[in-house]
Structure 1
């Protein structure tokens, strides 16, 4: 279950998101990088899940099916480079803060986005750095007015406008705060990177969380629930009733919560009731299994 964050807490600012997903992916042999699957989900869908809190999400690329609704934009001409793409996406945003992301970040999470937004006070932008200390300007949060100001200035300085200009021309003009995060900043430029990402999510410490996130995306569910509560329920049902009772009971708990149009609290309450029932079932079974006295065992009167 998500931790409560009071209104106005750092990281809860209203923001829009711009995701750049139109690169040529030359180091992947021209493959459709945003559509490459890691943990059963397209890289683009993983990034969109991380910025699901955005008021508006703009993806700069040719339209494609996505797990979440987005606006589509395209730089002119297509392939004009990251600054031209950013400018095209920014034109569809209105929030004072903008999260700017590439579409190849398999380990980006909503908590990282909140941390970037929460550190924006007194600066033009906050970006992550990779394990080698290199800036990652496409894993960052910016003040929208600062981006628009500097993009306008750069376009005016060059005959070709923003086409072909590198991102460092923009970041060099901004006051930036940097946060080191070797995991969230990991991007997939090569097939070796893809293989490493796929291997990491199958490690014991990550696989369950990754699977739950993948299932929720596949089913279009945004509900955050206490996974431990459901696992405890499954254990109680399996031990107290029968092993097949575990998945069936958790399904029924989810159905009951949905029928009541409830959120995480409704799931927790339904799970509590089902766990209590499983324990009562086990107690009855234990009593029924105790040996009982036969009439011949009863003591008789001596006289």
Structure 2
């Protein structure tokens, strides 16, 4: 059985979560870790079997002949890592969102296409059991409307609260709901957004992201959707996507799916780990060249990124953005 040599860039929550899954995989050797400093990298690597820490990604890639790389940095710290993987022909899985602004992902996508590189993006909602079930249930129903939401508080990291570093809540968090809408219902053609500002910035002088927003989307085929978010509530975070059809309502959340029809309410709970399924799909592609199990490539993720960037542009201009 082929053992894959993997490197990891970024040692925050996502880096730690992916490292745990990778080290539990019998066909993976997590050889190297890059962090924002040599000290952080070495401390993280010390928790892993046979891994070495680096403060510079080029040093890591020069020192190891890696089969794949996981990129788990904040969105503002992107570009160089992907570019180095592309130049060396190393497949990579990168966490969402692709970046905090619009242009860089498009430039990277051109280089990825030219290289024919295997990529995966961390839209793990696509790998939930409930998502599979929702697609089955909606296959023969007529979709009219979707309502999505991500309601919670602002993470404490200073970068998340800066618009130029995170892209704001709709780009950094609610992108999952946008992506799930696209995955199930099809492509977005028009975007109109309105944001509210002032509450979070009054509580935190560092913060300049919007407090809340509502984004109206028109999809191919005529379906409409509204996705709202806020990052100011102190407790009770909720995220989900509801579809309204000719047979009733379907609710998708972290927990699974609830199917509301005229006669019944049936709940289907998520049982498997979507991050694990995402990992298996990516590693299978790296081993075999078969990318059919990857549900979000970099190219596909760029389509979600364009929608979230259009929402920011619309909120700023007050105009409808056509895609």
**TM-score scaled by length of structure 2:** 0.27
**TM-score scaled by length of structure 1:** 0.28
Relative to total residues, which structure has the larger helix share, 1 or 2? Answer: 1
Relative to total residues, which structure has the larger strand share, 1 or 2? Answer: 2
Greater C-alpha Rg: 1
